[in-house]
Structure formats: structure tokens, C-alpha cells
Chain A
Amino acid sequence: MKVKILAFGITKDIVKNNSIFIDLNEGATVADLKNKLESEFPKFKALKSLLIAVNEEYGNDDLLISSSDEIALIPPVAGG
């Protein structure tokens, strides 16, 4: 399945876009997505952290992803 991933902050610079499409197997989890992203964009590995938001909530590694989810890359936040 093809999933759309929103990018923010430094991840936008790394993927050179506001969003990207990634191919995942059916039944893929947040951890699978992270592995795929790190192999396609090795610069992600240098970040202090990379979290994945699924439908506007932080997703645990074992959370299943579906193609209708809103998925976003959350690099280290720095509000305030």
C-alpha cells in the first residue's frame, strides 16, 4: 500500500518536500515505517529522535498503519 507522510521541521529539509509517499506492506507497523524511512533517508538516523504521529496522536512502534491514516514525521520538537 502507498501511504502519504507529512513532513515537518528538519524532516521537510531531509525529504525535500512537505509530504512524501512510501510503499509499505499491508499490516505494516510504525516500526516498519521507521525502518523504511531510515533506509531511504539515512539522515534520519542522525536525528536525536524521530516519532511518528498517526491521526494526530503519537504512535507506538507496534501500531498498525492503514493507507487512510494521516501520518506525520515528528522530529525533536522545540516549542516555547
Chain B
Amino acid sequence: MMDGKINIILQAEELSSDIAFNFVADNSAGGIVSFVGTVRNQTNGKKVIRLEFEAYEKMALSEMRKIAEEAIKNFDVFKIVIHHRTGVLQVGEIPVVIVVSAPHRKAAFEACQFAIDTLKETVPIWKKEIFENGEVWVSAHP
């Protein structure tokens, strides 16, 4: 039932916000909201060289799909895309793209915020920050 409304991808190749946008575009949509995550060049003043993303792929895909289904159930939205990358990403590259279309902007904003916030809590993807002199698994320790 939700099949044509949801597009979930986890891939090592570069993400395209255009492809994501085109999936959700719809003549009955009054607005499209997107969140594009990008790799930042520093954390707490320490220069970041690159990030490494690792996923428990099968479970990550099913948790991403749950988020999309939940978004469609709870907000008045048409379509949702959740794309995430794995592997090594350089500063400026895109680890995540979430795009939502809806009849009205409020639902699109809310669903997009819900999706990225929930992704960061439930989807089994891990991120290692590589600094000039050291590396750390993000959020692993209190």
C-alpha cells in the first residue's frame, strides 16, 4: 500500500538530492521539504579529516523503512525518501538525504524533522570521525 510512496536506499556511492527530489515530486503536493546532511570540517574545534560510516545493512534498511511508514501514517504527507551512505566520506560530502512531499508545508517540515531525528536514534549506522591525530566512534561513550 505504501510501496510507491516510500524510497529507501543505503549505498556506498554518492547520494543525489535531485534523484530524491524527483521521487517525491507530485502535482498534488503543495511543498517539498528536504534535509541534506553534510560532513562538517570540525568537531569541538578539532579538524575532521574524514568520516567512516558502517551499517548493519539489513536492519538499517528495515529501520529506515519503519521511519518512512511512520511518517506517512502520522503526518499528512504524500511521499518520503530516506537515503543514507556507507563507507568513507570526505568533508562536504553527503551522508544522508531525506525529502518529503505534502499537500501543505507544515506536515512536510514536521515529517522531515521526525525522520532525521528518529534516524539518528534507531537506525543501526555508526560513524567514526577521523581527526589529524586520532579517531573516535561518535556517541559511543557518555
Contact = CB atoms under 8 A, between A and B. Distances in A.
Interface of A: 6, 8-10, 13, 46-48, 53, 56-58, 72, 74-80
Given A8-B126, A10-B126, A56-B62, A76 B139 contact: yes
A10 B138 CA distance: 9
B-side interface mostly = mixed
Contacts, number: 77
Nearest to B64: A79
Interface of B: 37, 53-56, 58-60, 62, 84, 95-96, 116, 119-128, 137-142
19 contacts: A8-B124, A9-B54, A9-B140, A10-B126, A10-B137, A10-B140, A47-B140, A72-B59, A72-B124, A76-B140, A77-B120, A77-B123, A77-B125, A78-B125, A78-B137, A79-B55, A79-B125, A80-B116, A80-B119
